[in-house]
Amino acid sequence: MIRFNQHVALLSALTFCATASLSMTGCGDSTPTKSAATASAKDDHAGHDHAGHDHAADETHAEPAAEDDHGATTTLGEQAAGGFTLKASRDGDLVAGKEAPIDIDVQGAGKVAAVRFWIGAEDGAGSMKAKAELEHTTNWHTHAEVPNPLPAGAKLWVEIEAEGGAKYVVSFDLKS
């Protein structure tokens, strides 16, 4: 019985380590993301001197350049829905059956609870929805799967879930 318990304990420890290491993988060597509830526009301002900068301490920096090399950035446009303004971009070429790095900048008076992306038809048939993570103060990022085959007329669909549960969906031409 003691031998069995030792094996169970060892198996539990190995499972924990494997799960922990998978949860730490991500897109490049970026710092951990913050939830929409805890991130603030001034997070990147803590503890540095503003002397010699072209802005005051209460103003924000431009978003930092992406650390990942996903290819050239393609701006997909701007849409408005539910009091939010969304600006979309993707990195690299769209390849059916592969992932497409997608960024959405969400501005607005309301708080965002979640952002989801998918590529394909509006109803999501044949597509996989991806829940984005807040990378910077207003920038949401994920890698969306490109369906194989990519349907004719496919678009990038973005669903914004506002705090309180209201959902808004907009689409962007993929410009492929």
Q: Can you give the pLDDT at residue 102? A: 97
Confidence of residue 66 (pLDDT cuts 50, 70, 90): very low
Q: How large a percentage of the chain has pLDDT more than 90?
A: 58
pLDDT tens column, 48-62? 444 444 444 444 444
- Residue range 10-14: mean pLDDT, rounded: 50
Q: Which fold has domain 71-176?
A: Immunoglobulin-like (2.60.40)
Angle at 159 between CA 158 and CA 163, to 5 degrees: 140
Using CA atoms, how far apart are residues 57 and 40, in angstroms rounded to an integer? 14
pLDDT tens column, 131-162? 999 999 999 999 999 999 999 999 999 999 99
